[in-house]
Structure 1
Amino acid sequence: MNLSISEIKRQAKLSLKGKWGLGVLLTFVLFLLNFLLPTLVEMMMCGGPAEWIKQEDTSPGGSFVSTLITIALIPFTVGVYWFYLSLVRLKNPEISYAFSIYKDGKTSFKMIGVSILQGLFVFLWSLLLFIPGIIKSIAYSQTYYLLRDHPEYSVLEAITESRRRMNGYKWKYFLLGLSFIGWGILCLFTLGIGFLWLVPYVSTAMAAFYNEIIDIQDKDIEY
């Protein structure tokens, strides 16, 4: 069955209809927590913005705390993936849905573990050549979605299942991501403000991609 990029993007737009405000707000919160918060913490530990700007290298203490914050926010980032998957499935999620993952400590630590392991695998493949690293990152791209649908999967099982599910779909996924480059360039001319709308669009399209390949593969199994 043909998986059309134009159809995936059409589904993304339909899913976002009446929900663009939520997507923009979630993107803004994501930016504040993942990018602005670690920077502010580093500034505070350096004695303020003036001292932080003067520093040629980040202080070890500031880097350590910033890294801890980044790791602690991994479950929220995964929750954002799940938010858009829920949106594609027409379940009308609220912003709080992206934070709900923290209600279960075991799940939160599992997401941190899968993120670190995934990053390690991609890094090791990248040591061989740049292209294998990209291919593997695409192969592992469905891991977080799979863990939403199959919380019983272990970290390695989810990564392996993502790799299996992406057989025959990696090029399509690459082209889907590539199709947003023009919008990304345009967003640069808006001083980055346009990304508040582009990120929800891309995120919803990626969730729709997962939803489609799962549907196609499950139907093939039934037949």
Structure 2
Amino acid sequence: MYIDRRRLKEEAKSVLQGASVSPIAITALYLAICLGLDTLDSVVSGGAVAVLSGAGMLPTFITIFVYLVELVLGMGLTVYCLGVRHSVHMELSTLFDGFSFVGKIILLFLLEGVFISLWSMLFFFPGIVAMYRYRFAFYNLCEDPSLSAFDALNMSKRQTMGYKLSLLTLDFSFIGWGFLMTLPYTVVNSMILNDVALPLSLPVLTVICGVLSGLVALWVRPYLITTNLGYFELAKASSGVGRGFGGADPLGGGSGEPWDSDTL
């Protein structure tokens, strides 16, 4: 299915520029919290706290906790972008809206991970297809938190029929920005894996990497989310599935690519 990617990107920029609360401000808040959590994680996993406490499970627990909190905050940022796209005034506190349905977010994350892993066991390609099949599941949940995790997944299956290649192309168009955002962490991780002496302590390097990455992400993160939401809106309209498009019947009829007839 042809999508005018350039038009949707320009539309995303225009939408964000018209937001009553700056997307840079809410993204800065999101990144600052994530940076603090990542620094905590690096302090614990770096050995100092773990050795002193003698608790081998503590670093693992902290890492999982940090990941889940950042996942929920990311959902809040998506809720903000959804509201902005619909010309709704969104406060900075929207960033924490995901905590009101945190259980569903975590369940959806786990289910999506399981299904993608199961398809990946067959071969690499089915796993990639599954990843794009469930691309809109979290958007469905953000838009309507009353949905169950399974409904969000099933709706995404219908919505992404005919859009997977377009979404893949969209991801490739942002690959340069993604490289810039992850470059600082890539350099540090490479040094660790190759046993190269770090010039500074791991927590300090985590902060430096977070700041450098954040300078790019301040603008790119909301821009990327809002552009994806443009695809999401088109997919809802064309499939007839989603909030305002008969989302109560996520398993209704429809046709798409031949690999969309699976049961997961």
For 1:191 and 1:215, how far apart are their aligned partners in 2?
39
- Matched pairs, number: 213
Please tell me whether Structure 1 or Structure 2 has the larger radius of gyration of its CA atoms.
2
**Counterparts in 2 of 1:184 and 1:115: CA distance versus 1, 3 Å:** closer
Residues 143 and 161 in structure 1, CA contact (< 8 A), matched pair in contact too: yes
Partners of 2:17 and 2:5 in 1: CA distance: 19
Match of 1:86 in 2: 83
Residues 92, 62 of structure 1: alpha-carbon distance in 2 compared, 3 angstrom cutoff: same
Q: Identity of aligned pairs, percent?
A: 26
Asked if the contact 1:27/1:199 (under 8 Å) is kept, the reply is yes
- The counterpart of 2:171, out of the listed 162, 177, 183, is 177
More helix by share: 1
Q: TM-score, normalised by structure 2?
A: 0.68
State whether structure 2 residue 230 is matched by structure 1 residue 208.
yes
Amino acid at match of 1:98: L
1:154 aligns with 2:148: yes
Q: 1:167 to 1:108 in 2, by over 3 A?
A: same
1:143 to partner: Cα distance: 0.8
1:62 alignment partner in structure 2: 59
Counterpart amino acid of residue 24 in structure 2: V
CA-based RMSD of the aligned residues comes to: 3.3
CA gap 1:208/1:63 in 2 versus in 1, 3 angstroms: same
| Deviation, structure 1 residue 38 | 4.2
The answer for unaligned runs of 5 or more in structure 1 is none
Letter in 1 for 2:72: P
Partner SS for 2:22? helix
Q: What residue identity is the alignment partner of 1:140?
A: Y
- C-alpha displacement of 1:50: 8.2
What is the TM-score with the length of structure 1 in the denominator? 0.79
Q: 1:203 to 1:149 in 2, by over 3 A?
A: closer
Give 1:24's aligned residue.
24
Matches within 5 A, 1:1-223: 2-19=2-19, 22-34=22-34, 36-41=36-41, 43=43, 45=44, 51=48, 59-102=56-99, 104=100, 107-185=101-179, 188=183, 191-192=212-213, 193-218=215-240
Q: What is the one-letter code of the residue matched to 2:26? A: L
Shift of residue 162 of structure 1? 0.3
Per the TM alignment, residue 2 of structure 1 is displaced from its structure 2 partner at its CA by: 4.4
- Give, in whole Å, the separation in 1 of the partners of 2:145 and 2:37: 30
* Cα distance, 1:22–1:116 mapped onto 2, change above 3 Å: farther
SS in structure 1 at match of 2:165? helix
**Closer, same or farther: CA 40–88 of 1 in aligned 2, 3 Å:** same
Letter in 2 for 1:211: E
Shift of residue 167 of structure 1?
0.6
Distance (whole Å) between structure 2 residues aligned to residue 154 and residue 74 of structure 1: 18
Q: Offset at 1:206? A: 0.8
Contact 1:20–1:200 (Cα < 8 Å) also in 2: no
